[in-house]
């Protein structure tokens, strides 16, 4: 495992020491900021980083603590790898998180046999099959070598989050699903900033107001490049750690059959999810 973030370690150790939780820890936990952004995020460090930036100070250490380096997990039947990076662009904190799932190459549908996909508080897939339910195209194993992501950047209409789902073959080593998401967290000035409060758990209610922003603007601001290469964020060590064939935890026998077929309840149109039930109701 490769993990080096003091901020997350502080959060993990606070329970073991039986010391009282700091108010900021409690607030982040109650607001579920760790799911809304990532496991190592701290609202306090976020505000300190943005204040330091506005005052012209070096923010390198703050940004390091708002990021986390590679974590690779071995699961039954698949390997999961994730990491996050934070940058300040045009006075706003942007965060990119990469999650990669490697499954065996013999698996016809290249989805892990467990786990979930949590994009934000408004887009949550409780099972991997929910990706198909959301209208995201999942290529079959024999398609992956020539696969091209035609859906491109997807984005939330209730918070400033963009993401894409890509697939890549690594031959006999396995097939990988990449979920890359980019988030605009805001300037850190005002606790009522919509970019910040949409990261809190309460924003998952249906009544949360919709927002509008240009598709692809967050990822473009973060990457500062015209073309995003799906595996460009992986180091050679990352690729070695992802090799499914080295995992001591094989695919469970009782799950070796084909996955259940999922009837889509959303369709993807211009990067957003359209509820099929609402679409049908509108056509009546």
- pLDDT category at 16 given cuts 50, 70, 90 is very low
**Two structure tokens written together for 252:** 């469970």
Between 25 and 43, residue with greater pLDDT: 43
**Domain membership flag for residue 142:** yes
The rounded distance, in Å, linking the Cα atoms of 186 and 194 is 8
**Domain membership flag for residue 1:** no
- pLDDT category at 256 given cuts 50, 70, 90 is confident
The rounded distance, in Å, linking the Cα atoms of 236 and 240 is 6
The tens digit of pLDDT for each residue in 93-138 reads 999 999 999 999 999 999 999 999 999 999 999 999 999 999 999 9
DSSP string, 61-85: HHHHHT-EEEEEEEETTEEEEEEEE
Q: Is the pLDDT of residue 227 over 90?
A: no
The tens digit of pLDDT for each residue in 136-191 reads 999 999 999 999 999 999 999 999 999 999 999 999 889 999 999 999 999 999 98
Task: Specify the pTM.
Answer: 0.88
Domain that includes residue 191, residue range: 6-283
Give how many domains the chain has, as a whole number: 1
**Two structure tokens written together for 192:** 């009522």
Q: Is the pLDDT of residue 205 over 50?
A: yes
Q: Is the pLDDT of residue 203 over 90?
A: no
**Domain membership flag for residue 42:** yes
- pLDDT category at 277 given cuts 50, 70, 90 is confident
Task: Give 231: exposed, middle or buried? Use CB within 10 Å, 0-12, 13-18, 19+.
Answer: middle
Residues shown for the chain: 284
**What pLDDT sits at residue 141?**
94
The tens digit of pLDDT for each residue in 51-90 reads 999 999 999 999 999 999 989 898 899 999 999 999 999 9
The rounded distance, in Å, linking the Cα atoms of 5 and 145 is 35
CA distances from 2 to 35, 82, 100 (A): 21, 10, 15
**Domain membership flag for residue 253:** yes
**Domain membership flag for residue 36:** yes
């Amino acid at each position: 495992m490769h993990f080096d973030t003091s901020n997350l370690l502080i959060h993990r150790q606070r329970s073991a020491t039986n010391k009282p939780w700091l108010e900021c820890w409690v607030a982040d936990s109650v607001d579920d900021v760790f799911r809304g952004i990532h496991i190592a995020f701290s609202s306090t460090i976020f505000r300190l980083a943005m204040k330091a930036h506005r005052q012209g100070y070096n923010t390198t250490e703050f940004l390091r603590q708002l990021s986390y380096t590679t974590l690779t997990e071995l699961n039954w039947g698949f390997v999961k790898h994730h990491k996050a990076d934070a940058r300040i662009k045009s006075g706003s904190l942007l965060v990119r998180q990469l999650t990669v799932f490697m499954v065996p190459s013999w698996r016809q549908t290249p989805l892990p046999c467990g786990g979930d996909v949590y994009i934000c508080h408004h887009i949550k897939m409780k099972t991997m099959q929910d990706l198909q339910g959301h209208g995201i195209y999942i290529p079959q194993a024999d398609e992956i070598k020539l696969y091209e992501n035609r859906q491109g950047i997807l984005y939330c209409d209730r918070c400033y989050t963009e993401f894409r789902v890509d697939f890549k073959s690594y031959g006999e080593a396995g097939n990988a699903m990449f979920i890359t998401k980019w988030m605009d967290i805001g300037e850190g000035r005002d606790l009522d900033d919509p970019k910040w409060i949409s990261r809190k758990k309460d924003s998952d209610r249906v009544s949360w107001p919709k927002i509008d922003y240009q598709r692809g603007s967050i990822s473009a601001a973060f990457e500062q490049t015209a073309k995003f290469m799906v595996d460009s964020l992986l180091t050679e060590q990352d690729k070695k750690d992802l090799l499914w064939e080295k995992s001591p935890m094989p695919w469970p026998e009782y799950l070796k059959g084909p996955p259940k077929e999922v009837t889509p309840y959303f369709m993807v149109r211009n990067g957003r999810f359209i509820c099929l039930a609402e679409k049908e109701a509108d056509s009546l």
